[in-house]
Amino acid sequence: MYINIEEPTKKISPDAIRIWRMTNAIIEGIVLLVIGGLLFSGYYFDWKEWIVWIFWGLLSLSIFATVYSVWFEPAITQRTWRYEIDEDYIQLKYGRFEKHHKLIPMAKVEYVSTNQGPFLRKYDLYDLTIGTVTSSHKIPAIPREEAIALRAKIGFLAKLKDSDEEMDAAADDN
């Protein structure tokens, strides 16, 4: 039974799939290398048998993890990511198995920034980070023009709605 919350509409760039495949493949490759190295030294230095068994266990687990995080996960994440930014709210929705619906009032936004790593640069994409007093949120892989426009929009709206809390409270109390 899915929860009936109206989903935001905007999607993130499909290029995100390829980017995440690449980054995840690199990370998992390093993990596999480390485990392989441990296994090798386990046999080479004659470590205790149960330690070597743990290494084998880790290896088989991380092979599964690699298949999942390189092949399935990027596509799932890209397909399920939605966001929407209007005058009053930032809405985020992501996740397939565990679904997350986030709602951040524009008045509570403290800062907004765009970041770009080497892989994102290749596809001319940006991550957009939105911070509140209590946490920060990342909308990944947004095309350049859109990211910059969003940054400007949020910056403008957040300033406009700057939460002077006592004013909020006063309005609420009356």
Partner 1 sequence: MTTEKQRYHPSSVLFQLYSLLKGSFFIILYLFVLRSSQDTGFWQIAKAAFLAFLVMATLKILLNWMFNRYELSNEAIVLYNGIFVKKQRTIGFKRIQNVQQTTNFLHRLLKLTSLTLETGTSGDEASVRFPVLAYQEADRIKGIVEKAKLPEELQPDREEAVELPSITVPKRQIYFTPSKKDLIKAAFTSFSVLAIFPILFSLYFQIDDFFNLDNASRSVFHYLTGHLWLLLPILLAALLLSAMIGFITTYSKYGKFEISADEDRIYIKKGVFTESIFSIQKDKVQAIKLEQPFLKRMLGMVEVKLLSAGNVGDEAVETNSLFPFLPIKDAHQLVKQLLPSYEFSDEMKPLPKNTLWLRLLRPYYFWIIATAALLYFKMEWAWLSAVLLVFLIALRIADFRFTQYAFNERFVQIRKGAFVVETFITKRVKIQEIEVTQGWLQRKFGVASLHFHNRGKPLHISVLQDVPNAAGQQFYLWFKGRSKVVKL
* Of 7, 88, 124, 145, the one binding partner 1 by CB under 8 A: 88
**CA-to-CA distance for 34 and 42, rounded, in angstroms?**
12
Q: Is 51 in the site for partner 1 (CB under 8 A)?
A: no
**CA-to-CA distance for 151 and 11, rounded, in angstroms?**
16
Question: x/- string (CB under 8 A) for partner 1, residues 11-50?
Answer: ----------------------------------------
Q: Is 151 in the site for partner 1 (CB under 8 A)?
A: no
Residue type, 78: Q
Q: Is 169 in the site for partner 1 (CB under 8 A)?
A: yes
**Residue 153 C-beta: closest distance to partner 1, Å:** 17
Distance of CA 148 to the CA centre of its chain: 19
Q: Is 133 in the site for partner 1 (CB under 8 A)?
A: yes
**Residue 155 C-beta: closest distance to partner 1, Å:** 17
Q: Name the residue nearer to partner 1 (CB basis): 62 or 132.
A: 132
Residue type, 141: A
Distance of CA 12 to the CA centre of its chain: 11
Count of alpha carbons within 13 Å of 151, Cβ hemisphere only? 16
* Of 45, 46, 49, 98, the one binding partner 1 by CB under 8 A: 98
Of 21-29, 38-46, 65-73, 97-105, the segment contacting partner 1 by CB under 8 A is 97-105
Residues 27/102, Cβ–Cβ less than 8 Å: no
Q: Which helix (H) or strand (E) holds 129?
A: strand 125-132
Backbone phi, psi, residue 105, to 5°: -65, 140
Catalog residues that contact partner 1 under the rule CB under 8 A.
Answer: 1-5, 88-89, 95, 97-105, 107-108, 132-135, 160-161, 164-173
